[in-house]
């Protein structure tokens, strides 16, 4: 009997073994280990230095008070901040377009009127952007896209009313608005009486245009020397490229390096300590809206904390989508000999197209700081008028700044306070040869 069913039992056992083999094989193929749930890794934000507020980047560089019997003024950033802090508390309303053909002659007439003071800005400031600094009621809703580079505050000697004028020299536009302060007497004490104590200024172009007001007295300045400190280009690589691990680095010359991925390129000049980051696909030929252009470029630098020193907004060109920020020191612009002192951006299609900037930063100043008296602006203006190399009628402004010499071998930045004049859109240093040793050193 047993022998009769033995072949049947073998067949059943074999079938079971084959079935188990199939089940085990299928289990292996479909097995998924039970790992703990993991969250997506957050994107690492690379901050090169710091982020800043709009009021730190867009600032006036000069203030002139025009009293009936005198002009006073200052370039001192502490004094200018004091006035700006007062302006921020004002209530500005009823902003109205007064003149869309406000030429230079009308501007000069306005600025030569007594009982007003003027805040000077280097570049055209979009009003919607600056509405976050001043208390301008309804500016974003009611005012079309406009800009200014002069703020002229007109006060009534009787203390009855005030108004503020937003002047655009580039666009020949004048907007005016009413101003309310909490206490007129306090305003007279804190601003008007205080303004009389500033340095004496003079109109050196009183018979012509433009209105140019400069110091009538020698100007005390600071001469500094700084050690050169560098920020590693690899930090900018990590901050600017979407995937730093995909970036290829190569040497393209004695003082040239390249960082590149499939979308962007960053060129490094190791001698001038300058970098240029470009995203070719982002290029755009469409004119930009000024307020959006400036906001985008400010946000871009803030995103990677790119304000390594004190940079200020100084100019833009919405047609070419170009914005410039200038290095400042002690409230004065810094212009270099061979080493750049500018941060330049071209905004592309919804993102940066070109970004050029230094990657050095000013280390702590040397303790041996010299105080220098520079000649009064009125004397500098007279020298320029008598110069055969210059037509003073083409000078638009005259002010102080720093000329930065880069001692590459000693890795030093030497800051020389100097007079600069603006002509045909360019700032030019008043040459030491013209001054003839007129810089007075103080012990």
Tokens representing residue 384 in the block: 């320029």
| Domains defined along the chain, listed by start | 60-217 (no CATH), 219-443 (3.30.310.160)
Distance, CA of 71 to chain centre: 30
Neighbour-count burial of 240, counting CB atoms closer than 10 A to its CB (0-12 exposed, 13-18 middle, 19+ buried): buried
Q: How far apart are CA 119 and CA 73, in angstroms?
A: 10
Say which residue the tokens 């009413």 belong to: 178
Residue 37 has a pLDDT of 35
> How far apart, in whole angstroms, are the C-alpha atoms of residue 97 and residue 76?
32
- Worst-scoring range by mean pLDDT, 34-48, 65-79, 153-167, 380-394? 34-48
- Of the listed ranges 17-26, 107-116, 131-140, 260-269, the one predicted with least confidence: 17-26
Q: How would residue 364 be classed by pLDDT, with cut points 50, 70 and 90?
A: confident
Distance CA 197, CA 113 (A): 20
Q: Could you tell me which of 256, 258, 347, 260 has the C-alpha nearest to residue 295?
A: 347
Q: How many other CB atoms are there within 10 angstroms of residue 406's CB atom?
A: 21
Cα(170)–Cα(102) distance, rounded to whole angstroms?
10
The mean pLDDT of 37-54, rounded to a whole number, is 65
Burial class of 77 by CB neighbour count within 10 A (0 to 12, 13 to 18, 19+) = middle
The answer for residues whose C-beta is within 8 angstroms of residue 145's C-beta and 6 or more apart is 126, 127, 128, 289, 290, 291
Rounded distance between C-alpha atoms, residue 411 and residue 30, angstroms: 65
Residue 383, token pair as written in the block? 């020298």
- Give the pair of three-digit tokens for residue 190: 């804190």
Secondary element (H or E) of residue 13: helix 2-30
Mean pLDDT, residues 295-301: 97
- pLDDT of 44 strictly over 50: no
pTM for the model = 0.86
């Amino acid at each position: 009997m047993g022998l009769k069913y033995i072949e049947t039992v073998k067949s059943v056992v074999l079938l079971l073994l084959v079935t188990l083999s199939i089940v085990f094989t299928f289990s292996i193929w479909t097995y998924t280990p039970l790992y703990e749930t993991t969250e997506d890794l957050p994107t690492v934000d690379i901050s090169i230095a710091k982020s800043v507020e709009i009021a730190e980047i867009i600032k006036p560089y000069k203030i002139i008070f025009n009293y009936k019997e005198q002009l006073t003024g200052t370039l001192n950033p502490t004094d200018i901040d004091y006035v700006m802090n007062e302006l921020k508390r004002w209530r500005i309303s009823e902003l109205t377009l007064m003149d869309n053909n406000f030429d230079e002659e009308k501007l000069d007439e306005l600025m030569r009127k007594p009982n007003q003071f003027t805040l000077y800005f280097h570049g055209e400031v979009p009003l919607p952007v600056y509405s976050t600094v001043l208390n301008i009621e309804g500016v974003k809703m009611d005012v079309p896209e406009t800009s200014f580079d002069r703020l002229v505050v007109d006060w009534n000697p009787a203390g009855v009313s005030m108004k503020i004028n937003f002047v655009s020299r580039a666009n020949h536009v004048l907007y005016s608005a009413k101003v309310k302060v909490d206490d007129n007497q306090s305003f007279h004490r804190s601003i008007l009486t205080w303004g009389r104590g500033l340095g004496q200024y003079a109109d050196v172009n009183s018979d012509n245009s433009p209105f140019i007001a400069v110091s009538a007295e020698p100007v005390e300045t600071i001469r500094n020397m700084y050690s050169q400190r560098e920020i590693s280009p690899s930090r900018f690589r990590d901050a600017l490229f979407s995937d730093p691990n995909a970036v290829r680095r190569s040497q393209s010359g004695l003082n040239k390096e390249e960082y590149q991925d499939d979308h962007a390129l960053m060129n490094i000049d190791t001698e001038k300590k300058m970098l240029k980051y470009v995203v070719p696909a982002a290029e755009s030929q469409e004119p930009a809206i000024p307020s959006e252009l400036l906001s985008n470029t400010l946000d871009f630098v803030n995103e990677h904390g790119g304000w390594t020193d004190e940079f200020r907004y100084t100019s833009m060109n919405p047609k070419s989508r170009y914005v410039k920020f200038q290095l400042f020191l002690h409230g004065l612009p810094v212009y270099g000999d061979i080493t750049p002192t500018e941060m330049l951006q071209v905004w592309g299609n919804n993102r940066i197209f070109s970004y050029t900037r230094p990657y050095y930063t000013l280390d702590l100043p040397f303790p041996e700081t010299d105080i220098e008296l520079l000649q009064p602006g009125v004397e500098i203006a007279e020298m320029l008028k008598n110069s055969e190399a210059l037509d003073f009628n083409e000078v638009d402004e005259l002010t102080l700044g720093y000329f930065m010499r880069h001692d590459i071998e000693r890795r030093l930045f030497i800051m020389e306070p100097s007079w600069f004049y603006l002509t045909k859109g360019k700032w030019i240093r008043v040459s030491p040869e013209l001054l003839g040793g007129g810089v007075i050193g103080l012990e």
